[in-house]
Amino acid sequence: MAQATAAKNYAGVWDNRLGFGKKTALLVIDLLQGYTLQGAPLFAPGVVKAVAEMPALLKAARAKKMPIIHTRVFYNPSDFADGGIWIKKAPVLKSLVPGNKYAQFCKGVEPKKGELVIVKNYASCFFGTSLAATLTAMGVDTVMITGCTTSGCIRASAVDAVQNGFRPIVVRECVGDRHDGPHEANLFDINAKYGDVISKAEAMKHIKGLKRQERL
């Protein structure tokens, strides 16, 4: 017996849409040069594409004074104890230390003065950080998720976002991975079970429709 396509199999069961809430923050996850420089162990072609799509989205969000939160990974290079078991599973992450070019933000998507940068040590932006409390204090109920990688930090952050009471909205063109297979599989799964996956065009329309926000 032939198996139905994934879309048909999930239809009516795992295909509900959350939509945007009352206030959205733009979350820019780990757009670091280690993922975009040729020859880097973490190099991911899909992230190069995502970085190219980001400037227009950032420009629109900044024009509306939308909350923008960037994340980066830094480890203590002396013993990597802050990486715990995860860095034992993925020692390639040891390049993400202060002073290493791979740990620097990609050109064109660097945080602007005044934009919050959160340092994280694990996949999820929420795990071991103040992100949830910060969003709550801002009155944010929706996170527009961009960055890398789709199968790692994007998925983990989307799962934790919904588990912490936020609406995860992933912008398809603005996330990337090492390979199309994991990228597409995780976008499918996020859209089915944890949040919404939308196009960049839909994201831009939402941002441009916002009233200019006053920051705290």
Active site residues: 153
State the DSSP code for 87: H
User: By the 8 A CB rule, do 32 and 151 touch?
Assistant: no
How far is the CA of 35 from the CAs of 42, 122, 137, 216, in angstroms?
5, 16, 32, 33
CB 18 within 8 A of CB 197: no
Interatomic CA distance for residues 32 and 73, integer angstroms: 9
177: region left, alpha or beta (phi > 0 left; psi from -120 to 50 alpha): beta
Task: Give the list of residues 6+ apart from residue 171 with CB closer than 8 angstroms, or none.
Answer: 57, 144, 145, 146, 198, 199, 200, 203
Question: In degrees, to the nearest 5, what angle opens at C-alpha 156 toward C-alphas 152 and 21?
Answer: 130
Tokens 């109920």, located at residue: 141
Residue 169 host element (H or E): strand 167-176
